C-alpha cells in the first residue's frame, strides 16, 4: 500500500476510466497515493482519510487506518455493483422484485 499502486489498482479494477494504471510509476509513491486519494474523493465519494506524506514518511503505515480506508472502497464498489445490476432488469420482473426484496437498490 505504501507505494500507492495498490490503491490505484483497486480503483482501476472497478473503474478503469478513472486511472490510467499503465502510466503510474512505482518510484513515485506521492503521486500514486495522491492520485488514488483525489480520485476516490472526487468520483467515488470516499473521504480522504489518509495522508500521502504520512504513509511515505513512515516505516510501517498504520495497518488499521489502511484497512479502514480500503473497506470504504469495498462499500463504495459493492453498492455501485448492486445498483448497476438493477439497471439490467426490467421494472416489475421477477429478478427485479427479488433484488428489491433484498434491499439492494440505491
Does residue 25 carry a pLDDT above 50? yes
Cα radius of gyration rounded to whole Å, the chain: 17
- Backbone φ and ψ for 19, nearest 5 degrees, come out as -135, 130
Whole-model pTM? 0.73
| pLDDT recorded at residue 79 | 73
Mind listing the pLDDT tens digit for each residue in 31-89? Answer: 999 999 999 999 999 999 999 999 999 999 999 999 999 999 999 998 755 444 444 44
| pLDDT recorded at residue 89 | 47
pLDDT band at 97 (very low <50, low <70, confident <90, very high): very low
pLDDT band at 105 (very low <50, low <70, confident <90, very high): very low
Runs of H (alpha helix) within the chain: 5-14, 29-44, 52-56, 63-86, 94-101
Of residues 18 and 97, the one with the higher pLDDT is 18
Element holding 49 (H helix, E strand): none
The DSSP output letter for 22 is G
Of residues 82 and 30, the one with the higher pLDDT is 30
Amino acid at each position: 500500500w505504501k507505494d500507492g499502486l495498490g490503491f490505484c489498482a483497486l480503483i482501476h479494477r472497478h473503474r478503469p476510466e478513472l486511472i490510467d494504471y499503465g502510466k503510474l510509476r512505482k518510484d513515485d509513491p506521492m503521486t500514486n497515493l495522491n492520485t488514488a486519494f483525489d480520485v476516490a474523493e472526487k468520483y467515488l465519494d470516499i473521504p480522504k482519510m489518509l495522508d500521502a506524506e504520512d504513509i511515505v514518511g513512515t516505516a510501517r503505515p498504520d495497518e488499521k487506518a489502511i484497512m479502514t480506508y480500503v473497506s470504504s472502497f469495498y462499500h463504495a464498489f459493492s453498492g455501485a455493483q448492486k445498483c448497476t445490476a438493477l439497471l439490467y432488469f426490467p421494472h416489475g420482473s421477477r429478478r427485479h422484485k427479488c433484488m428489491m426484496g433484498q434491499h439492494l437498490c440505491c
